[in-house]
Structures are given as C-alpha cells and as structure tokens.
Amino acid sequence: MTLPVETIPVGLSGSQAVAQAMRQINPDVVAAYPITPSTNIVEKFSEFAANGEVDTEFLAVESEHSAMSACIAAAAAGARAHTVTSSQGLAFMWEALYVASGLRLPIVLHAANRALSAPLSIFGEHSDTMGARDSGWVQLYAENGQEAYDNALMAVRIAEHPDVMLPVLETQDGYTVSHSMERIELLPDDAARRFVGAYQPRYSLLDTRNPISLGNIVSPAHLFEMKRQVAEAMDKALEVIASVGQEFQHLTGRSHGLIEGYCLEDAEVVMVLLGATAGTARVAVDSLRAQGKPVGLLKIRSFRPFPVQQVAEALQGKAAVAAMDKAFSFGASGGPLFQDVCAALHRNGICIPLVNYVYGIGGREAMPTDLVQVFSDLERGAERGWSETSIRYLALRE
C-alpha cells in the first residue's frame, strides 16, 4: 500500500515526539509550567520557540493554574492554545479545567501521567488524569510514543471540530513512555500542518464586529441546559474521534479508533486496559497463545468519551474479563476503568464475570509474568466460578 506521504523515522522519547507534534501544530499560544515527567515536552518546545522554529507566543507562567487560565484567555480570544502538565500540575488546574470545557474552548493539554501526592511520587500511573474524568475534557490514552505523537496531532482536529468544541487531554504513561526512546515515524511538517489545518474559532473576544460576553453568571433557569450541551458534544466526540482516526489512517497507515483489540475475537478471557501496559499485555497474550490459551486484550484509547457500545460489543460472550486500573478510586466499587466497563456491560444487559485489578501504582512496573497471572486467574475463575470479586491488587505486598 502506498501512502500519500513519506514519513520520517527518528529515534525519540515519547516526550520529544509530542514536542515535535507541538512544533508542527505551531499553536498561537503555549502557557506552561514544568513538572516531572512531562517537563521534557514543554522544555523541548520552549527550545523551538526560542530558536524561532515556531511562531508561538510562549508564556512561562508561574504555576499550572496560571497556565490553564492563560490558555483559557487565549482560546477565548480566538487563539489555538496548548499546555503541558502532569500530576499535581493537572490537579492545580482542576477548577480551570471545568471553565475550559464549560466555555467550550478547544484547548489541548499534552500530559504525561504521574501519581498524585501525597506521599510524593514522580512515577507513572493514571491517578492524575482520572481525577479529571468528569470535567468535560476528551481523554485519549497512548500506548507508546508513536501513538502519543499521533494523538497530539489528532487532538487538535477533535477539539476544534464544530460538533465537539471541547478541550482535549492526550496522555502518555510517565517515564514508561515519556522517557523511553522508540522509533517514531514523524509526518513531514507540511503534511502535519495540512492535517491539523487552520483554527476557525466559533467566537472570539477580539472580534469587535461580533461582540460577546464570556464567563457570565447563569441562573438555575439555564445552567443545566448549557451543561447538557457539553454532554451532547461528548457524545458527538465518539463519532469525531473515529472519523478523524480514519482520516489519519489514510495519511499514515496507522489506525486509531476508540478501542483496539488484540487476539480479541476468539478470546475467551480478556484483559481491558489503558495506555502503556497494553504493550506488556501483548507479550503476555503472545506467550499464552503460544500455549494454546484463548486469551485476548481490549485496549481503550478514548477513555472520555467512554465507548460504551464498542466495549459492550467487544466483550459480549466472553467467559471472564479483567478491568485493569492504574489508579485507585477510593471508596468505590472498583477503579475508574472498572466502573465504566461494568456500567457499559450492565447497560447492554451483558452479565459476565468482571474482575478489577488495581496495578502499577506509584510506578510499580507490571511485568509480563504479573499479567500472565491475571489471565490464569481469569481462566480459573471462568472454569470454577468466583468466590469473591472484590478489588484485587496486582503485585502488592499483602
């Protein structure tokens, strides 16, 4: 198959790959504050800005709260505004995240996942982005540096789509992806720019011919409807993510949908997860398949909006499923991914054993042997039934 463009292979870390995407996107404004492990993304981008390789107005703000506030102001003025953060930085932006989505500003946030303090951990897990799952931001999880680069470019198209007009968070696992070097196929600059296109803001505070007021107080008579609009945009985002992914596939040959299955069709037991651990899980699946075990993997790329129908269809008829959470949701029935998978199944009348594993907290590596163990547990459970389905903690010293 010949592709329309010839990509450029480079050895880059996940952070550097996203920095390249940002360079090609050339946002009008980047306001950011550094935090491990996403620092390298914005650090690299600031070099591009200093060297005049982008036209971006680069604001080295005093905090992440300021970063998001500045992005909101810039986006409200009709600018393409991006930022970069992790962990406490994302948490510090929390109130502003809701402002961004409520004002329907297509800001893109490039994240590298990291644990939330306290106690302090700089290592990768999903607590930070999970804390923002109700904020009205689209969330895309990358398995590796290539996907992070691809998601960074597609994020702009998704956010700015007229049916969506929502901010998008695209993330990669901290350290595991952000600090690991891979072969990345970069699009040529002009192809990336053509794909991303020009920003057509729906409205702008600087458009004096069409004056608007933004961030107004709203009475109980109207706020509900305005938030309903955000819910509608999230629903529409499901189609938009899929169609933008298809367009990207024509360009690069790489397919990115809402979900991705690996040895899924004929699998009897399935592991569902987000992000980098999918790569490790493929190794586990391969080794078990070599022994003739019918195991499979369901990787979710779009966590928000959650692809309820697609997940339900993919898991229908399976003997047992493990939902793998790289974050706690303290006091809940299970982790965030488990809750969404459970609801997706229930909504579709699918009653199959679903077990939750919390893993990888504080950067604890999930080894192929750990994941093989999960598949064995699933197999055994599918055969003999389940004595309990409470939350299990993978590789925790109990």
Strands (DSSP E) along 256-385, which ranges?
A: 259-262, 269-273, 295-300, 302-304, 320-325, 354-358
Pairing, β 259-262 against β 295-300: antiparallel
Q: Does 285 bind other proteins (CB under 8 A)?
A: no
Q: Does 200 bind other proteins (CB under 8 A)?
A: no
Please give the helix or strand (H or E) that residue 314 lies within, else none. Answer: helix 308-315
Q: Does 187 bind other proteins (CB under 8 A)?
A: no
Stretch binding other proteins (CB under 8 A), from 209-217, 322-330, 335-343, 383-391: 209-217
DSSP single-letter state for residue 187: P
- Closer to other proteins by Cβ: residue 183 or 228: 228
DSSP single-letter state for residue 343: H
Residue 125 tokens read as 């897990």
Residue 207 CB, shortest distance to other proteins, in Å, is 9
Q: Does 229 bind other proteins (CB under 8 A)?
A: yes
Closest listed residue to residue 93, CA positions, set 148, 12, 38, 21: 38
Distance, in Å, from the CA atom of 398 to the CA atom of 383, rounded to the nearest integer, reads: 26
Q: Does 235 bind other proteins (CB under 8 A)?
A: no
- Closer to other proteins by Cβ: residue 3 or 214: 214
- Given a contact cutoff of 8 angstroms between Cβ atoms, the answer to whether 140 and 155 are in contact is yes
* Torsion sign, CA atoms 58, 60, 65, 69: negative
- Binding-residue total with other proteins (CB under 8 A): 23
Residue 233 CB, shortest distance to other proteins, in Å, is 8
- Closer to other proteins by Cβ: residue 200 or 387: 200
Helix (H), strand (E), coil (C) string for 94-156: HHHHHHHHHCCCCCEEEEEECCCCCCCCCCCCCHHHHCCCCCCCEEEECCCHHHHHHHHHHHH
Q: Which of 79, 105, 315, 327 binds other proteins (CB under 8 A)?
A: 105
Q: Which of 61, 103, 263, 319 binds other proteins (CB under 8 A)?
A: 103
**CA distance readout (Å), 385 to 320, 354, 357, 380:** 10, 12, 17, 8
Q: Which residues pair with 182 in a beta bridge?
A: 12
Q: Does 246 bind other proteins (CB under 8 A)?
A: no
Stretch binding other proteins (CB under 8 A), from 102-110, 291-299, 334-342, 350-358: 102-110
Residue 108 CB, shortest distance to other proteins, in Å, is 17
Residue 157-176 contact track with other proteins, rule CB under 8 A, x = bound: --------x-----------
- Closer to other proteins by Cβ: residue 2 or 213: 213
Q: Does 199 bind other proteins (CB under 8 A)?
A: no
Closest listed residue to residue 57, CA positions, set 77, 89, 31, 76: 31
Q: Does 346 bind other proteins (CB under 8 A)?
A: no
**CA distance readout (Å), 1 to 150, 191, 249, 250, 288:** 20, 18, 12, 10, 32
Q: Which of 120, 214, 332, 396 binds other proteins (CB under 8 A)?
A: 214
Q: Which of 120, 212, 283, 332 binds other proteins (CB under 8 A)?
A: 212
Q: Which of 23, 104, 126, 179 binds other proteins (CB under 8 A)?
A: 104
- Closer to other proteins by Cβ: residue 227 or 289: 227
Residue ranges that bind other proteins, judged by CB under 8 A: 102-105, 165, 202-203, 210-216, 218, 222-223, 225-226, 228-229, 232-233
